[in-house]
Amino acid sequence: MILSMYNQFYIFALTIVLGFIAGFIYDLFRIFRKEIKHHNILIQIEDILYWILVTFIMFKFVISKNNGETSFFLIFGMIIGMTLYFYTISPFFINLSLSIIHIINSALKTLLQILLTPVKIIINILKIPLGFLSGFLKPIKKKTGRILQKQKYLLKKKLRKIFSDLKIIFKKI
């Protein structure tokens, strides 16, 4: 289908915007990678997922706006959009996002320290009496451990006797 110059320009402008969006999505992946370090294989998988997503978006765009017809100017517009995004907005967006993430991380760490301070104080207060009691409880713990070991041995011995008696009974039946 032949499009008018206005429609061609409109679709070309939309592909430039689509390139901006694709660049923005890639920056989200880049920010994720900088904040959470991971192996090269995961990075490659992320890149594959990114290109699958961008291909799907481009495919839907071509189907809806250009009746499924691909042309060089669509790809060229997307490349121009991505290039413009990466050389203009991308550095500011990444720096701003990383700064915001670091501020949020610092605030959460501070909040966590504030919330855990009473718990630490209670633990430190309880260490004194519990430490005092542990000195008294050590000999009791040793004696009960020995008693339990002896009882366990006797129980095993009795169970073996019961099972051997059961075997004899079942053989007679």
Taking only the tens place, the pLDDT of each residue in 120-131 is 888 777 777 766
Our measurement of the distance from residue 47's CA atom to the centroid of its chain's CA atoms, rounded to an integer in Å, reads 17
Q: What is the mean pLDDT of the chain?
A: 85
Q: What is the pTM of this model?
A: 0.62
Q: Give me the residue label for tokens 């079942």.
A: 170
Q: Give the dihedral sign, CA 139/140/143/149.
A: negative
Residues 81, 17: contact at Cβ < 8 Å? yes
Conformational region of residue 68, where left means phi above 0, alpha means psi within -120 to 50, and beta covers everything else: left
pLDDT in tens, 58-114: 888 888 877 777 778 888 999 999 999 999 999 999 999 999 999 999 999 999 999
Token digits for 2? 């032949």
The C-alpha angle 92, 96, 99, rounded to 5 degrees, equals 145
Q: Is 10 helix (H, G, I), strand (E, B) or coil?
A: helix
Average pLDDT score over residue span 6-35: 90
